[in-house]
């Protein structure tokens, strides 16, 4: 990597001595050599990046992304997923076990870890809670942790057996592991197409009630309290979920949670055009739910925001709404979605940089002189279009494909590698 000078960017990183200041950052041989108000370039080989109007922080970290490898590489492989992550400003991504076979043993964990070596983006596998994600028998959690799994989840298969979830929480506690709950009571939610409410009635589609999520969150909070274990809830989507987790935190339970970026922006009213790219799980809820989610972020109830990147081939999305697969790609659109919701640069750094790493026990890059450079430069006002030339994913299932967006990652640096995003 060439030596790089980032000029006139606002540094945003809580606890940093230059937090909030406009600075120049000199990076030599992959390390930050100097941070100052003005650095005069003296080396002709120095690559200067104009950071005026931009924000520089530690690289984003995503707690919930889906790649297809192993087995579903036609949706996304590790290399294309990492490329999409880098283009979105991420230098770290946790990938879920929604694969075939699932990431349910040390073999699949090792495959992901080894396939991702040498990449600018650190890819961390999340191992399953149960074998084959069937919710029947506990997977080998310790073996997967030793091979590199940073947490455990059955992905978009919610664990229906309370006893199995209880044993997983207890076992994970013994190895200082983290269980991630995707909360959905299938007996209540079964066969849903969208959120249950006025819009589902109007459109004549089976709805998934908020109750399906809050029932499972209530159960898992009881189990976490009983076992005195940590638990993380991913992709919460309802006002009731926010309320339940807020009360649990007040009681002192070891609970954290995240929300998908698209659930902060879109509602079930967007489904009216039957665009299958708006078919996600959990479904898009109501304006009331979005208001509660944004309040939950502000109050500290919600700890992180995730992309929930879920790529699909065109034949799974370019079909009737009721048979389309659920999910949208999100690694490159999370930043513009958050800009559109009105979040500040400080908010974005808190929910995409600092707190996601704290949840899984990863060090936060310090951006201090002498430290290895792991950073992103992003511009919250720059406009760009997600299309075939800018999209780095193998898939195109996004409701904003072909549209102009505001908010763009400009460069990412990690592991002595540099990408300038065009």
CATH code where residue 122 lies? 3.20.20.140
Cα(28)–Cα(34) distance, integer angstroms? 9
Tell whether 298 and 396 lie within a shared domain: no
Tell whether 42 and 134 lie within a shared domain: no
Confidence of residue 2 (pLDDT cuts 50, 70, 90): confident
The 8 Å CB, 24+ separation contacts for 223-229 are: 223/162, 223/165, 223/166, 223/169, 224/169, 224/248, 224/253, 224/254, 224/255, 225/251, 225/253, 226/166, 227/166, 227/169, 227/170, 227/173, 228/173, 228/254, 229/169, 229/170, 229/172, 229/173, 229/179, 229/254
Cα(350)–Cα(4) distance, integer angstroms? 26
Alpha-helix runs per DSSP H in 271-333: 287-299, 314-317
Picking from 319, 336, 360, the residue at the C-terminal end of a domain is 360
Tell whether 230 and 327 lie within a shared domain: yes
Confidence of residue 21 (pLDDT cuts 50, 70, 90): very high
Tell whether 50 and 139 lie within a shared domain: no
Tell whether 399 and 288 lie within a shared domain: no
Which pLDDT score, from 0 to 100, does residue 87 have?
Answer: 98
Cα(119)–Cα(123) distance, integer angstroms? 8
Side-chain half-sphere of 271: how many Cα atoms within 13 Å? 31
Q: How far is CA 230 from CA 74, 137, 175, 177, 216, in A?
A: 35, 20, 11, 8, 16
Residue given tokens 């589609």 in the structure block: 205
Tell whether 402 and 260 lie within a shared domain: no
Tell whether 278 and 325 lie within a shared domain: yes
Tell whether 318 and 379 lie within a shared domain: no
Confidence of residue 106 (pLDDT cuts 50, 70, 90): very high
Which pLDDT score, from 0 to 100, does residue 258 have?
Answer: 98
Picking from 312, 343, 360, the residue at the C-terminal end of a domain is 360
Tell whether 10 and 154 lie within a shared domain: no
Domain assignment of residue 321, given as a range: 59-360
Tens of pLDDT, residue by residue over 300-321, are 999 999 999 999 999 999 999 9
Cα(310)–Cα(331) distance, integer angstroms? 9
Cα(159)–Cα(333) distance, integer angstroms? 29
Cα(367)–Cα(387) distance, integer angstroms? 33
Q: Are 411 and 94 in contact (CB under 8 A)?
A: no
Residue 44 has pLDDT above 90, yes or no: no
**276 Cβ partners below 8 Å, 6+ apart?**
317, 318, 319, 320, 321, 324, 397
Tell whether 133 and 214 lie within a shared domain: yes
Picking from 360, 376, 401, the residue at the C-terminal end of a domain is 360
Averaged pLDDT, 277-287: 98
Q: Are 100 and 71 in contact (CB under 8 A)?
A: yes
Confidence of residue 229 (pLDDT cuts 50, 70, 90): very high
As given in the structure block, the two tokens for residue 36 are 């100052």
Roughly how many angstroms between the first and final C-alpha of the chain, as a whole number?
18
What distance lies between CA 114 and its chain's CA centroid? Answer: 21
Cα(172)–Cα(379) distance, integer angstroms? 40
Q: What is the CA radius of gyration of the chain?
A: 21
Tell whether 70 and 134 lie within a shared domain: yes
Confidence of residue 190 (pLDDT cuts 50, 70, 90): confident
Per DSSP (E only), the strands in 88-140 are 90-95, 122-127
Confidence of residue 41 (pLDDT cuts 50, 70, 90): confident
Confidence of residue 192 (pLDDT cuts 50, 70, 90): confident
User: What percent of the chain clears pLDDT 90, i.e. is strictly above it?
Assistant: 97
CATH number, domain containing residue 22: 2.30.40.10
**32 Cβ partners below 8 Å, 6+ apart?**
25, 26, 367, 368, 369, 370, 371, 372, 373
Tell whether 260 and 344 lie within a shared domain: yes
Residue 243 has pLDDT above 80, yes or no: yes
As given in the structure block, the two tokens for residue 247 are 């009360």
Confidence of residue 191 (pLDDT cuts 50, 70, 90): confident
Averaged pLDDT, 106-132: 98
Beta bridge partners of 123: 93
Number of structural domains the chain divides into: 2
Q: Which helix (H) or strand (E) holds 337?
A: helix 334-341
**49 Cβ partners below 8 Å, 6+ apart?**
4, 5, 6, 7, 377, 410, 411, 420
């Amino acid at each position: 990597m060439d030596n790089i000078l980032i000029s006139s960017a606002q540094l945003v990183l809580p606890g940093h001595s230059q937090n909030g200041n406009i600075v120049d950052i000199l990076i030599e041989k992959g390390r930050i050599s100097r941070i100052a108000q003005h650095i005069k370039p003296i080396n002709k080989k120095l690559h200067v990046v104009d950071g005026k109007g931009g924000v520089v922080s530690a690289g984003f970290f995503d707690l919930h992304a889906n790649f297809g490898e192993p087995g579903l590489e036609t949706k996304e492989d590790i290399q294309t997923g990492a490329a999409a992550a880098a283009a979105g400003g991420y230098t770290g991504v946790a990938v879920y076990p929604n694969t075939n076979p699932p990431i349910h043993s040390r073999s699949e964990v090792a495959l992901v870890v080894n396939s991702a070596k040498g990449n600018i983006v650190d890819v961390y596998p999340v191992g399953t809670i149960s074998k084959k994600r069937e919710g029947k028998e506990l997977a080998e959690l310790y073996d997967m942790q030793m091979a590199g799994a940073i947490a455990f989840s059955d992905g978009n298969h919610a664990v229906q057996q309370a006893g199995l979830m209880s044993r997983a929480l207890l076992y994970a506690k013994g190895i200082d592991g983290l269980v991630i709950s995707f909360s959905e009571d299938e007996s209540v939610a079964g066969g849903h197409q969208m959120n249950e409410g006025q819009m589902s009635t109007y459109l004549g589609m089976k709805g998934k009630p908020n109750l399906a999520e809050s029932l499972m969150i209530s159960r898992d909070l009881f189990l976490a309290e009983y076992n005195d274990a940590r638990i993380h809830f991913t992709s919460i989507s309802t006002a009731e979920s926010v309320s339940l987790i807020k009360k649990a935190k007040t009681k002192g339970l070891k609970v954290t949670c995240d929300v998908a970026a698209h659930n902060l922006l879109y509602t079930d009213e967007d489904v009216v055009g039957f665009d299958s790219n708006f078919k996600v799980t959990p479904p898009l809820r109501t304006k009331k739910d979005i208001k509660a989610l944004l309040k939950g972020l502000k109050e500290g109830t919600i700890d992180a925001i995730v992309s929930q990147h879920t790529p699909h081939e065109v034949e799974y999305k370019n079909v009737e709404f009721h048979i389309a697969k659920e999910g949208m790609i999100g690694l490159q659109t999370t930043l513009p979605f958050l800009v559109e919701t009105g979040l500040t640069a400080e908010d974005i750094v808190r929910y995409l940089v600092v707190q996601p790493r704290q949840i899984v026990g990863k060090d936060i890059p310090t951006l201090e002189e002498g430290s290895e450079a792991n950073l992103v430069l992003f511009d919250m006002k720059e406009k760009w279009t997600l299309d075939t030339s800018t999209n780095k994913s193998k898939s195109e299932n996004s409701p904003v494909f072909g549209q102009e967006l505001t908010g763009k990652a400009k460069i990412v640096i990690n592991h002595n590698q540099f990408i300038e995003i065009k």
